[in-house]
């Protein structure tokens, strides 16, 4: 049994090691990568819900060019985003700046799990159907005495 | 004429629905079986009438009856017949007609299913269904009636929205979605009936299990088709935009998936009774929320049909469902106490609980993200967006955890696992995962790829091992061939095997999604005819541009040949096109895809035409390399297949004296 | 179980009934709150978006004249500019053209400059459109839509009124009316007087 667990643990270690020793991303991002990332976070003004990176519309293509142009001119990622927010509003950011839309579901789930655990604790524990060894011995003794005719 | 027939049949259907619901309730309370029977058979009439209304609209479309406003707005003389038929459900009012048809169909199916023997709760369940039917009939008769007529009949209609007549997939996507959404009405109705009558035992689950599975399966197909349509038709290179309407279609499927798992916990351990009722009410409420957000003009989206009066009606109905459903559950709380608790975290129940927690976490995340802009605007007047990046970032880790649970769940027995048994079963999958992880690491893959594909190997091996266990047990027990043993194993435990097949489907789909996400590449280029340019490991040559006039549109096609950049050999011929419809300013692009197969590295080559310059002639093209996308479609349909396996009716009851599958498997284990 | 005092039992029952009532009320609160939240979303146009750039500095532009040789630039300090984004395929642009002509005729003597910027259109179709329309204010192409993006344009038509100090005084999305134009241009001209 222990050997089995050791084998399983060994497998887990191998996986983690492989993952950690993997070719890490850490290379400095190119202008194209940065442009792609920024465009993926901007909302296309003429489409429904698509990002500037994804949208096939002409304006999105021009916005992509604008993003890349500004990056080449030396602007930082935040400056480029601010440029668009100043003109189109917060609406143009696909990921809201506020943490609320992330916090609310986490809180809801935590609340739910917490409430459940509270209720589970309050319920009387179900009768254990497992029989312990000591009980087992006692039953044997009782049964034997019964059989011997008490 | 068509409008008259349509409106009248819908009106009668509405009256009959009210009658049916009322008579069902009275029949139950007065214990009058003939009233109940009358209520039951009324269902057939309702279906027939709604069918007539749909037929009337179909006739109006096919005969170019432009006196009907819906026909004038959504069809035209030039529209091809196939798309005229499609126009029935391609816009709001018409799709509501289809919705009512499917709903009527389910109503009649329930009436038919329980024509001979029926549970005690049947009367109230019928009444609940009639209530839902009545609401949707009211909608289709009232503000959003498709049969509104025009005082002055135009000579020709506007034709369907260009996007909706571009591709035949439009045909299948909504019907499957509707079959899914509306199917959840049945378990909801029986759950409500159980709560009202106080019969909250497991009956309602048992009665409606196949209906829930069927609805879940249909919805899985509908969602897969939707993603396929988005990818193959819309031309932006992706398959899921986290569009609000996409999101609300996904939510009931997530809660239904949670339900399918937690129901098993209730059946075996008598736990989670309140939870399961809440899940059913929640799933049905999410389908109503879905229609509300889609049609109530609250959120702007590709799908939104804007109708301003309809919103309050949907909201009222949704509130009624939520208040009624959860109110009833709270009212009957005492009868719903759990019969046992979790013995240990190392059991199938606890994995299922984890599954539920995670699925609900994703549901909440997507729900909150979808309506967050609404909340913010209501409170502050500001407009914000929540889109792809948010959803992807917050659901990905949960999806991986779910994947993991999916792997170990079937490995753990119910109640409690002996550690040694678990360890034994974990060995092979764990080492399979390790092998894949190492292989990927050696091949130079990144951490994300290693984790995801290692996990996938784990889950795949574990799942297949589980499937084989039962088959092997059959072989040993009855000394039969693999084929017979498989059939026997599956027949004895359809739910398990259906579930395992569905798990494989999820796995395949997730592998496809991850592969595409990690390995995709794209580029934009402008080419003159005859030019070649290099993009992402391929060379593209624009061969020619030509314009084709069709009856209902003008099509500009760019013919492109793709070559492998290294070897120079021709890899694909692509013809992306731009379609210009009269009365529309922007052309609709149709992408051209070279489908990835195992023989070409599972790589989809995808080209879409962005714009054309007549004075070139030149074309602007977006080119994508999407590896693994095909697995997403395969996976989706495998999931649905799993649902079919699980729901398939057993041909005969299990033979006397034969042991249930699990006992045989355990016996097999002990022997080993 | 020896006899339970009936009064005690009643108290217990009504206690459990009270707690049941409390649970029901507790369940209803989030439900009703959710419904109210959704209700607040009704009656709002999801397509309506606020004007971000009001009272911000108007982006300067120098764009090639449509069908011409030189560049047209703006805005100029001390003058009121009306910048109208349009396209030949835009139905509302057709509809609003008369209002623009009327306003242009009214204010041309007073030094108000009208500029029409072509949005997402070909030069050929734009020229065709312009030749069919009245009015003679400068029309320019916008290569790469850089000016449109600088102005935060979502679509056409969009019209901006720029005050003499170079800030954006007003913006409208959609078909512009003569009354809106006169009101906003008058207001912008008044700021000149006070400055």
Instruction: Look up residue A20 and give its DSSP letter.
Output: H
Match 């312009």 to its residue by tokens: C130
The residue of chain C nearest to residue B322, with distances taken between CA atoms, is C31
Q: Do both C91 and C152 map to the same domain?
A: yes
pLDDT at B642: 96
Q: Does C171 fall in a domain?
A: yes
Query: How many Cβ atoms sit within 10 Å of the Cβ of residue B246?
Result: 21
**Residue-wise pLDDT tens digits, B87-121:** 888 877 888 899 999 999 999 999 999 988 888 89
pLDDT at B303: 43
Q: Do both B201 and B269 map to the same domain?
A: yes
* pLDDT greater than 70 at residue B404: yes
- Structural domain of residue B541, as residue ranges? 519-630
B437 touching A (Cβ < 8 Å): yes
Query: How many Cβ atoms sit within 10 Å of the Cβ of residue A24?
Result: 9
Which tokens in the block code for residue B528? 């003159």
Instruction: Look up residue C71 and give its DSSP letter.
Output: E
Instruction: Look up residue C65 and give its DSSP letter.
Output: B
Q: Between chains, do B315 and C42 touch, taking CB under 8 Å as contact? A: yes
* pLDDT greater than 70 at residue B308: no
Which tokens in the block code for residue C69? 């040789």
A41 CB neighbours in chain B (<8 A) are 389
**Is the distance from CB of B669 to CB of B530 less than 8 angstroms?**
no
Closest CA to B237 of B560, B520, B466: B520
What is the least distance, in Å, from the CA of C169 to any CA of chain A?
15
Q: Does C25 fall in a domain?
A: yes
Give the Cα separation of C84 and B457 in Å (integer).
Answer: 59
Q: Do both B500 and B528 map to the same domain?
A: no
How far lies A113's CA from each of A129, B251, B273, B511, B664, in Å?
26, 20, 16, 30, 36
Q: Does A150 fall in a domain?
A: no
| CA atoms B412, B416, B418, B423: torsion sign | positive
C59: Cβ–Cβ under 8 A, 6 or more apart, which residues?
Answer: C147, C150, C151
Q: Are strands C139-140 and C113-118 parallel, antiparallel or unpaired?
A: parallel
Match 């429904």 to its residue by tokens: A48
The predicted model gives C70-76 an average pLDDT of 87
CATH classification of the domain holding A61: 1.10.8.640
**Residue-wise pLDDT tens digits, A32-49:** 889 999 999 999 998 878
The predicted model gives B618-625 an average pLDDT of 90
Which tokens in the block code for residue A29? 């991002």
The residue of chain C nearest to residue A61, with distances taken between CA atoms, is C144
H-helix or E-strand spanning residue C73: strand C71-74
Interface mutation target, options A59, A69, A108, chain C, most CBs of C under 10 Å: A59
Q: Do both B261 and B343 map to the same domain?
A: yes
The last residue of a domain, from among B151, B182, B208: B151
Q: Does A8 fall in a domain?
A: no
Q: Does A1 fall in a domain?
A: no
C53 CB neighbours in chain A (<8 A) are 86-87
* pLDDT greater than 60 at residue A85: yes
Q: Does C14 fall in a domain?
A: yes
Residue B300 has its nearest CB partner, among C40, C47, C91, at C47
- Tell whether omega for the bond before B437 is within 30 degrees of 0, i.e. cis: no
* pLDDT greater than 60 at residue A121: no
Q: Do both B511 and B525 map to the same domain?
A: no
**Residue-wise pLDDT tens digits, B504-535:** 999 999 999 999 998 888 888 888 888 889 98
Q: Do both B190 and B144 map to the same domain?
A: no
pLDDT at C62: 92
pLDDT at A28: 59
The residue of chain B nearest to residue C37, with distances taken between CA atoms, is B375
- Chain B (346-375) residues lying within 8 Å, Cβ to Cβ, of chain A: 357, 360-361, 364-365, 367-369, 372
Q: Do both B244 and B259 map to the same domain?
A: yes
List of chains touching B (3+ CB pairs within 8 A): A, C
- Tell whether omega for the bond before C157 is within 30 degrees of 0, i.e. cis: yes
B296 CB neighbours in chain C (<8 A) are 42
B382 CB neighbours in chain C (<8 A) are 50
Q: Do both A40 and A78 map to the same domain?
A: yes
**Residue-wise pLDDT tens digits, B19-70:** 999 999 999 999 998 999 999 999 999 999 999 999 999 999 999 888 888 8
- Structural domain of residue C12, as residue ranges? 1-44
Q: Between chains, do A5 and B589 touch, taking CB under 8 Å as contact? A: no
Give the Cα separation of C99 and C172 in Å (integer).
Answer: 14
**Residue-wise pLDDT tens digits, C170-194:** 898 888 999 999 999 999 888 865 4
The residue of chain C nearest to residue B299, with distances taken between CA atoms, is C46
Q: Does A121 fall in a domain?
A: yes
How far lies B372's CA from each of A122, B162, B376, in Å?
35, 31, 6
Q: Do both C72 and C148 map to the same domain?
A: yes
**Residue-wise pLDDT tens digits, A96-107:** 888 888 888 888
* pLDDT greater than 70 at residue A125: no
* pLDDT greater than 70 at residue A132: no
How far lies A150's CA from each of A143, A146, C133, in Å?
10, 5, 117
**Is the distance from CB of B508 to CB of B634 less than 8 angstroms?**
yes
What is the least distance, in Å, from the CA of C145 to any CA of chain A?
6
B450 CB neighbours in chain A (<8 A) are 15, 18-19, 22
Q: Do both C146 and C89 map to the same domain?
A: yes
Give the Cα separation of B608 and B629 in Å (integer).
Answer: 17
**Is the distance from CB of C154 to CB of C40 less than 8 angstroms?**
no
The predicted model gives B284-299 an average pLDDT of 80
Q: Do both A60 and A105 map to the same domain?
A: no
**Residue-wise pLDDT tens digits, B413-432:** 887 777 777 888 888 999 99
Q: Do both B7 and B106 map to the same domain?
A: yes
Give the Cα separation of A54 and A39 in Å (integer).
Answer: 8
Q: Do both B96 and B123 map to the same domain?
A: yes
B586 CB neighbours in chain C (<8 A) are 89
Q: Do both A39 and A86 map to the same domain?
A: yes
pLDDT category at B672 given cuts 50, 70, 90 is: very low
Give the Cα separation of B81 and B155 in Å (integer).
Answer: 18
Q: Do both B213 and B329 map to the same domain?
A: yes
**Residue-wise pLDDT tens digits, C14-46:** 666 667 777 777 778 878 888 887 777 665 555
**What distance lies between CA C47 and its chain's CA centroid?**
9
What is the least distance, in Å, from the CA of C155 to any CA of chain B?
12
- Chain C (32-51) residues lying within 8 Å, Cβ to Cβ, of chain A: 49-50
What is the least distance, in Å, from the CA of B547 to any CA of chain A?
20
Q: Do both A71 and A35 map to the same domain?
A: yes
**Residue-wise pLDDT tens digits, B138-166:** 989 987 788 988 888 888 887 777 666 66
Tally A–B CB contacts below 8 A.
173
What is the least distance, in Å, from the CA of B384 to any CA of chain C?
10
Q: Do both B199 and B136 map to the same domain?
A: no
**Is the distance from CB of B529 to CB of B544 less than 8 angstroms?**
yes
Q: Which residues of B27-52 are buried (b: 16+ CB within 10 A; e: fewer)?
A: bbeeeeeebbeebbebbebbbbbbbb
- Chain C (107-166) residues lying within 8 Å, Cβ to Cβ, of chain A: 120, 144-146, 148-155
pLDDT at A16: 66
Closest CA to B43 of B147, B158, B145, B125: B125
What is the least distance, in Å, from the CA of B373 to any CA of chain C?
10
Q: Does B653 fall in a domain?
A: no
Q: Between chains, do B430 and A20 touch, taking CB under 8 Å as contact? A: no
- Structural domain of residue A118, as residue ranges? 98-125
Q: Does B577 fall in a domain?
A: yes
Q: Does C3 fall in a domain?
A: yes
Q: Do both A40 and A70 map to the same domain?
A: yes
Q: Does A131 fall in a domain?
A: no
Instruction: Look up residue B306 and give its DSSP letter.
Output: P
pLDDT at A99: 83
Q: Between chains, do C120 and A58 touch, taking CB under 8 Å as contact? A: yes
Q: What is the CA radius of gyration of chain B?
A: 27
Q: Does B160 fall in a domain?
A: no
Q: Do both C110 and C37 map to the same domain?
A: no
Q: Does A139 fall in a domain?
A: no
**Residue-wise pLDDT tens digits, C107-166:** 988 889 999 999 988 888 889 899 988 888 999 999 989 999 999 998 889 999 999 989
pLDDT at B25: 94
Query: How many Cβ atoms sit within 10 Å of the Cβ of residue B534?
Result: 12
Q: Does A103 fall in a domain?
A: yes
List of chains touching C (3+ CB pairs within 8 A): A, B
**Is the distance from CB of B608 to CB of B621 less than 8 angstroms?**
yes
Q: Do both A71 and A37 map to the same domain?
A: yes
**Into how many domains does chain A fold?**
2
Give the Cα separation of B327 and C27 in Å (integer).
Answer: 7
- Tell whether omega for the bond before A62 is within 30 degrees of 0, i.e. cis: no
C149 CB neighbours in chain A (<8 A) are 59, 62-63, 66, 87
pLDDT at C13: 60
Q: Do both A40 and A64 map to the same domain?
A: yes
Q: Does C187 fall in a domain?
A: yes
Give the Cα separation of B528 and B613 in Å (integer).
Answer: 9
**Residue-wise pLDDT tens digits, B376-402:** 887 787 888 999 899 998 888 889 999
Which tokens in the block code for residue A84? 């668009």
* pLDDT greater than 90 at residue B363: yes
Q: Between chains, do A96 and B441 touch, taking CB under 8 Å as contact? A: no
* pLDDT greater than 50 at residue B302: no
C53 touching A (Cβ < 8 Å): yes
Q: Does B159 fall in a domain?
A: no
Q: Between chains, do A11 and B357 touch, taking CB under 8 Å as contact? A: no
pLDDT at B304: 45
Q: Does A72 fall in a domain?
A: yes
Q: Does C50 fall in a domain?
A: no
Q: Do both C40 and C96 map to the same domain?
A: no
Interface mutation target, options A109, A123, A131, chain B, most CBs of B under 10 Å: A109
Closest CA to B321 of B140, B118, B122, B184: B184
B620 touching A (Cβ < 8 Å): yes
**Is the distance from CB of B365 to CB of B251 less than 8 angstroms?**
no
Give the Cα separation of A12 and B439 in Å (integer).
Answer: 15
Q: Do both C7 and C81 map to the same domain?
A: no
B407: Cβ–Cβ under 8 A, 6 or more apart, which residues?
Answer: B429, B455, B458, B459, B462, B463
CATH classification of the domain holding C106: 3.40.30.10
Residue B298 has its nearest CB partner, among C42, C50, C87, at C42
Q: Do both C14 and C65 map to the same domain?
A: no
* pLDDT greater than 60 at residue B667: no
A128: Cβ–Cβ under 8 A, 6 or more apart, which residues?
Answer: none
Sheet (strand B618-627) strand order: B521-528, B618-627, B603-613, B592-594
What is the least distance, in Å, from the CA of B585 to any CA of chain C?
6
Closest CA to C120 of B616, B555, B611: B611
**Into how many domains does chain B fold?**
4
H-helix or E-strand spanning residue B26: helix B2-29
The last residue of a domain, from among B402, B421, B440: B402
Interface mutation target, options A3, A18, A117, chain B, most CBs of B under 10 Å: A18
Q: Do both C20 and C69 map to the same domain?
A: no
Q: Do both B215 and B231 map to the same domain?
A: yes
Average predicted confidence (pLDDT) for chain A: 77
Q: Does B369 fall in a domain?
A: yes
Q: Do both C27 and C103 map to the same domain?
A: no
| CA distance between the termini of chain A | 44
Residues found in chain C: 195
What is the least distance, in Å, from the CA of C40 to any CA of chain B?
6
Q: Do both C35 and C72 map to the same domain?
A: no
Please state the φ and ψ torsions of residue B523, each to the nearest 5 degrees. -155, 155
Closest CA to C57 of C189, C185, C166, C192: C166
């Amino acid at each position: 049994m222990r050997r089995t667990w050791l084998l399983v643990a060994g497998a887990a270690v191998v996986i983690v090691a492989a993952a950690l020793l993997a070719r890490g991303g850490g290379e400095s991002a190119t202008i194209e990568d940065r442009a792609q990332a920024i465009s993926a976070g901007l909302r296309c003004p003429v489409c429904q819900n698509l990002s500037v990176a994804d949208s096939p519309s002409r304006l999105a293509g021009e916005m992509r060019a604008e993003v890349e142009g500004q990056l080449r001119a030396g602007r930082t990622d935040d400056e480029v985003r601010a440029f668009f927010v100043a003109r189109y509003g917060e609406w143009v950011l696909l990921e809201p700046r506020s943490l609320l839309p992330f916090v609310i579901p986490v809180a809801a789930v935590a609340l739910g799990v917490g409430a459940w655990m509270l209720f589970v604790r309050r319920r009387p524990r179900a009768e254990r159907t497992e029989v312990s060894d000591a009980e087992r011995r006692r039953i044997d003794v009782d049964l034997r005495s019964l059989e011997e005719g008490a | 004429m068509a409008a008259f027939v349509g409106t009248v049949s819908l009106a009668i259907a509405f009256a009959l629905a009210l009658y049916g619901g009322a008579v069902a309730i009275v029949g139950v309370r007065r214990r009058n079986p003939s009233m109940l029977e009358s209520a039951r058979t009324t269902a057939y009439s309702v279906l027939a009438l709604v069918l007539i209304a749909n037929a009337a609209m179909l006739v109006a479309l096919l005969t170019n009856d432009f006196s009907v406003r819906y026909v004038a707005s959504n069809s035209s003389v030039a529209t091809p017949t196939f798309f005229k038929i499609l126009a029935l459900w391609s816009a709001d009012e018409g799709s509501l007609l289809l919705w009512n048809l499917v709903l009527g169909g389910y109503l009649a199916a329930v009436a038919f299913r329980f024509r001979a023997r029926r549970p005690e709760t049947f009367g109230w369940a019928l009444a609940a269904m009639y209530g839902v039917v009545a609401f949707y009939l009211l909608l289709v008769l009232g503000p959003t009636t498709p049969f509104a007529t025009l005082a002055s009949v135009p000579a020709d209609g506007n034709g369907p929205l260009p996007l909706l007549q571009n591709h035949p997939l439009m045909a299948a996507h909504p019907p499957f979605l509707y079959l899914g959404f509306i199917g959840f009405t049945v378990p909801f109705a029986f759950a409500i009936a159980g709560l009202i009558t106080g019969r909250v035992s497991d009956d309602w689950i048992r009665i409606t299990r196949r209906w829930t599975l069927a609805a879940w399966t249909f919805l899985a197909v509908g969602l897969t088709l939707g993603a396929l349509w988005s990818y193959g038709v819309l031309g932006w290179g992706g398959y899921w935009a986290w569009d609000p309407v996409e999101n609300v279609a996904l939510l009931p499927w997530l809660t239904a998936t949670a339900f399918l798992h937690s129901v098993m916990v209730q059946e075996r351990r008598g736990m989670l009774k309140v939870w399961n009722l809440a899940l059913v009410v929640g799933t049905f409420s999410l389908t109503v929320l879905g229609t509300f957000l889609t049609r109530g003009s609250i959120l702007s989206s590709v799908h939104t049909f804007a109708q301003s009066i309809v919103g309050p009606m949907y909201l009222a109905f949704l509130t009624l469902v939520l208040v009624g459903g959860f109110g009833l559950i709270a009212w009957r709380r005492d009868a719903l106490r759990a019969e046992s608790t979790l013995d240990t975290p190392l059991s199938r129940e606890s994995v299922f609980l984890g599954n539920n927690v995670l699925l609900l976490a994703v549901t909440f995340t997507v729900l909150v993200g979808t309506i967050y802009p609404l909340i913010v605007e209501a409170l502050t007047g500001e407009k914000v967006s929540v889109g792809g990046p948010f959803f992807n970032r917050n659901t990905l880790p949960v999806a991986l955890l779910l994947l993991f649970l999916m792997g170990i769940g079937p490995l753990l027995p119910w109640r409690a696992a002996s550690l040694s048994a678990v360890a034994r079963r974990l060995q092979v999958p764990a080492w399979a995962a390790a092998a894949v992880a190492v292989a990927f690491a050696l091949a130079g893959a990144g951490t994300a790829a290693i984790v995801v594909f290692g996990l996938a190997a784990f889950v795949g091996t574990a799942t297949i091992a589980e499937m084989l266990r039962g088959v092997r047990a059959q072989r040993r027990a009855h000394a039969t061939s693999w084929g017979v043993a498989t059939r026997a194993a599956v027949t004895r435990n359809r739910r398990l095997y259906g579930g395992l097949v569905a798990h494989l489907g999820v796995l395949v789909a997730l592998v496809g999604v991850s592969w595409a996400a990690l390995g995709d590449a794209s580029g934009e280029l402008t080419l003159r005819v005859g030019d070649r340019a290099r993009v992402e490991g391929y060379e593209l040559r624009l061969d020619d541009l030509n314009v084709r006039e069709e009856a209902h549109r003008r099509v500009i096609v760019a013919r492109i040949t793709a070559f492998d950049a290294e070897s120079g050999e021709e890899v694909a011929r692509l013809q992306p096109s731009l379609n210009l419809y009269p009365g529309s300013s922007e052309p609709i692009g149709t992408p051209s895809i070279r489908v990835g197969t195992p023989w070409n590295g599972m790589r989809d080559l995808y080209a879409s035409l962005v714009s054309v310059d007549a004075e070139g002639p030149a074309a602007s093209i977006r080119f994508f390399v999407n590896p693994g996308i095909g697995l997403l479609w395969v996976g989706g349909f495998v999931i649905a297949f799993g649902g079919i396996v699980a729901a398939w009716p057993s041909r005969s009851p299990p033979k006397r004296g034969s042991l249930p599958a699990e006992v045989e498997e355990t016996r097999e284990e002990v022997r080993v | 179980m020896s006899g339970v005092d009936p009064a005690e039992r009643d108290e217990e029952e009504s206690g459990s009934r009270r707690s049941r009532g409390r649970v029901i009320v507790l369940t209803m609160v989030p439900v009703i709150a959710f419904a109210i939240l959704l209700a607040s979303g009704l009656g709002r146009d999801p397509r309506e978006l606020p004007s971000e750039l009001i009272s911000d500095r108007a982006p300067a532009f120098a764009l090639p004249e449509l069908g011409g040789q030189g560049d047209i630039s703006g805005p100029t300090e001390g003058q009121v500019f009306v910048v109208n984004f349009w396209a030949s395929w835009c139905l509302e642009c057709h509809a609003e053209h008369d209002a623009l002509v009327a306003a242009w005729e009214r204010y041309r003597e007073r030094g108000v400059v009208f500029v029409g910027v072509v949005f997402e259109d070909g030069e050929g179709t734009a020229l065709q459109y312009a030749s069919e329309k009245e009015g003679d204010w400068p029309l320019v192409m916008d290569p790469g839509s850089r000016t449109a993006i600088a102005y935060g344009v979502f679509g056409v038509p969009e019209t901006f009124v720029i005050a003499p100090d170079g800030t954006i005084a007003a913006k409208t999305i959609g078909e512009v009316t003569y009354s809106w134009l006169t009101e906003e241009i008058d207001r912008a001209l008044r700021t000149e007087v006070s400055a």
